[in-house]
Structure 1
Amino acid sequence: MLYPMSPKVVALKRKLESFMDRHIYPNEERFYREAEELGPWKVYPVVEELKPLARAEGLWNLFLPESSHGAGLTNLEYAPLCEVMGHSHLAPEVFNCSAPDTGNMEVLERYGTEKDKERWLKPLLAGEIRSCFAMTEPAVASSDATNIESSIVRDGDHYVINGRKWYTTNATDPRCKICIFMGKTDPDNPDRHKQQSMILVPMDSPGIEVKRALPVFGFYGVPDRASEVVFANVRVPKENMLLGEGRGFEIAQGRLGPGRIHHCMRLIGLAERTLEKICRRVRSRVAFGKPVSEQTVTQERIAEARIMIEQARLLTLNAAYAMDTVGNKVAKAEIAMIKVAVPNMACQIIDWAIQAHGGGGTSNDFGLTQAYATARLLRLADGPDEVHRNQIARFELKKYSNT
Structure 2
Amino acid sequence: MGWYRAGTVTVTNGSTTVSGVGTDFVSNLNGGEAFVGPNGSVIEIDHVVSATQIVLVSPYLGGNATGQAYAVLPTASFARDLAIAVSALRDSYQNVRDGVGQGLFPDGSVAAPAIRFASDQDTGLYRIGANMFALVAGGVVRGVISDFTRLNTSADGYTLDLLGRAVDDTVQLRLLRNDYSLNLAVMAFVPGFGTRISSGLGSIGLASLSDGACYLRVGANDVALATAAAFRPGTDNAVALGTSGFRWSYVAAASGSIVTSDARTKKWRGALETAELAAAREIAATIGVYQLLDAIAEKGEANARLHVGVKAQQVWAIMAAHGLIDPITPSASSSRYAFLTYEKWDAVEAKACTAAVPPSPAVMDEDGRMIAPPNPGQPAQPPTKARSAGDLYGIRPDELMFFLMAGQEQRLAALEAA
TM-score (norm 1): 0.18
Q: Highest Rg: 1 or 2?
A: 2
Name the structure with the higher strand share.
2
Name the structure with the higher helix share.
1
